[in-house]
Amino acid sequence: MNSVLKIIGLILLTFFLFLGIIALILFLYLKISLPSISQLKNYNPKQAILIVDNQGKVIGYLGEERRIYVPLEKIPDHVIKAFIAAEDANFYKHRGIDFFSLVRALFKNLISGRIVQGGSTITQQVAKSLLLTPERTFSRKFKELILAWQIEKHLTKDEILNIYLNHIYLGEGAYGVEAASLTYFGKHVWELDLLEAATIAGLPPAPARFSPLNNPNGALTRRNYVLRRMAEVGFISWEQANYLMTRPLQLNPKNVNIPAHSAYFIDIVRAELERLLPKEVLKWGGFKVVTTLDVDWQKRGTENLVSSLLRQHPGNPPEVSAVCISNEDGGVRYLLGGRDYLKSSYNRAILGKRQPGSSFKPFIWAEAFEKGLLTPNSVLPDEPIILPGADAGKDWAPGNYDGKYMGPMNLKQALALSRNTIAVRIAVILGVDNLRDMVKRLEFDFTQPINFSIALGTYELTPLELTTAYTVFPTLGAKWKPRFIEAIYDKVHNGREIYRSQPENKQVYSPATMSIMNEFLQEVVRSGTGRCASALGVPVGGKTGTTQDYRDAWFIAFTADYTCGVWVGYDKARTLHRGETGGRIACPLWLALMQARAHAPKPIPTYTPPIEVGSIN
């Protein structure tokens, strides 16, 4: 009997020794192939770039992963305890591996013949998330155990928790507790109450399946599980847990992706960031970008404008783009590149070059006044005019939109009624050299040779270019350089300012000339082609534009505070419909856009000449 026992003992000893050798060999093999944990010591994850408007309101996020890093000291104790109770109650007791949980999971996995339960500690989850691939195999699990043991040797418990709470995926594109807090509750992680903390802490096993947005019942079940676990481990009382489990699931979800109404603007911001910051720096994110946008105006204005467009064209609506610029600092407060970003991301506001038609005429008038070739009291005939055409041997005979002629007219009335023949006559009085000076003064980038047809807006401009040029009127001659970014900070929370744009303008016309033009352009709204804009209820100056065959409709106008331009047309330059002029289609859209924001009834600036020394008795 003793010999049999000795033989059995020897066999068992040999078996376990063999297993030990195999385990040692496997350990050494895997250890050699394991990734280094050095990156965890200086944890620097990819983060989102937070985009906010000029009042600090969140527009959305850019970046490969929507993560906003928050140091552990800013994460409340009840949030930390909710995650520990749900995921790893013995976190502060073990050294990376919880053997009891591991044996329980191993037993269930052996029975099923596959990995069905992880039994992973928080440290193991860190190892898996940052250092390993996600496949569910025994070799990957063994690597995870070795790495967890190594991590615990080199990092403190707080360092591990800091990584875990900032790195873990929590559904709806949110990585880390701060992004999840903003996504589900519209608040920072340090503002979460216990119920909200328990809701987020219930997500790690299956973020998509337990998402409060897609499966509120599942999320409620997981939240209550977390509350029970917190009571079981002594973090809260059973009385508190039982009461909280009766409370409903309350969310305040935020669309933290870029909303469609602001997407055209954010595309410009993205391009600006790529110009301002190195590509490798942008890749890691973590910046806060303050833009010039007014996101409330952007949202309401787009809703108003697009719904107005669809009422006008319910069947086959044309495209539309619009730009609004602050007359105080050149900041772009509103920008729309098309009626539906999800259908077409082509940004017509900055890329769509089209003929401006009669909306270009104010610059012809302004140039004539600036050069002293005409005065506000000048009178010109509205009569047929024939000029040499661009093709040799052919004449050019521009006519008026209505086919009629009104005889001698003063220049204010001629602009208000948009008389083409008078615009061409002013261009002839200026001459080609002065017209070239005007183009240079306004910094228009025209590739074709300049001729007299420029008076009728035949040279193409984008809505942004034309609207920017119109800022010379309400600023009494200073053309703003449009700005999209106010400032960039190197951290989302309390970061250092690394860039700030400076308002930049250039005086291109005299205040006296612009004061005249402001009165003329207000007359366009009072009695001319832009009458619909008077419904805004504040002083407005502007000009309509319609191109040949009704292919483009424009209205560019300004109040004391903002200069805004609207273009309507089809991408393939087909006709809108007969009679759909700038005054009939673009001006109502401009009005719908402007009515989405309150406007003070301030007068449009006028020029007051300085009192000369010695002129006072």
Q: Among all residues, which ones are annotated catalytic?
A: 87, 358
User: Partners of 174 in the beta sheet?
Assistant: 66
- CA–CA separation, 522 and 606 (whole Å): 12
Residue type (1 letter), 40: L
Q: Residue 567: left if φ>0, alpha if ψ -120 to 50, beta else—which one?
A: beta
Query: Which tokens in the block code for residue 294?
Result: 């007014």
Residue type (1 letter), 443: E
Query: Which tokens in the block code for residue 96?
Result: 């990376």
- CA–CA separation, 507 and 476 (whole Å): 9
Q: Residue 187: left if φ>0, alpha if ψ -120 to 50, beta else—which one?
A: beta
Among residues 418, 66, 518, 496, the alpha carbon closest in space to that of 256 is found at: 66
- CA–CA separation, 545 and 530 (whole Å): 10
Contacts of 436 (CB under 8 A, 6+ apart): 450
SS3 call for 497: strand
- CA–CA separation, 1 and 13 (whole Å): 18
Q: Are 583 and 349 in contact (CB under 8 A)?
A: no
- CA–CA separation, 355 and 301 (whole Å): 25
Query: Which tokens in the block code for residue 124?
Result: 């193991």
User: Partners of 546 in the beta sheet?
Assistant: 553
Query: Which tokens in the block code for residue 589?
Result: 């859209």
Among residues 318, 455, 452, the alpha carbon closest in space to that of 396 is found at: 452
60, 89, 116, 567 from 146: Cα distances, Å: 39, 20, 20, 63
User: Max Cα separation, the chain?
Assistant: 137
Query: Which tokens in the block code for residue 1?
Result: 């009997």
Question: DSSP state, 210?
Answer: T
- CA–CA separation, 515 and 534 (whole Å): 19
- CA–CA separation, 179 and 200 (whole Å): 11
Query: Which tokens in the block code for residue 334?
Result: 């509103």
- CA–CA separation, 178 and 71 (whole Å): 10
Q: Are 592 and 566 in contact (CB under 8 A)?
A: no
First to last CA, the chain: 137
Query: Which tokens in the block code for residue 72?
Result: 């552990």
Question: CB-based burial of residue 298 (10 Å sphere; 0-12 exposed, 13-18 middle, 19+ buried)?
Answer: buried
User: Partners of 387 in the beta sheet?
Assistant: 396
- CA–CA separation, 544 and 357 (whole Å): 8
Helix (H), strand (E) at residue 379: strand 379-382
Question: DSSP state, 140?
Answer: H
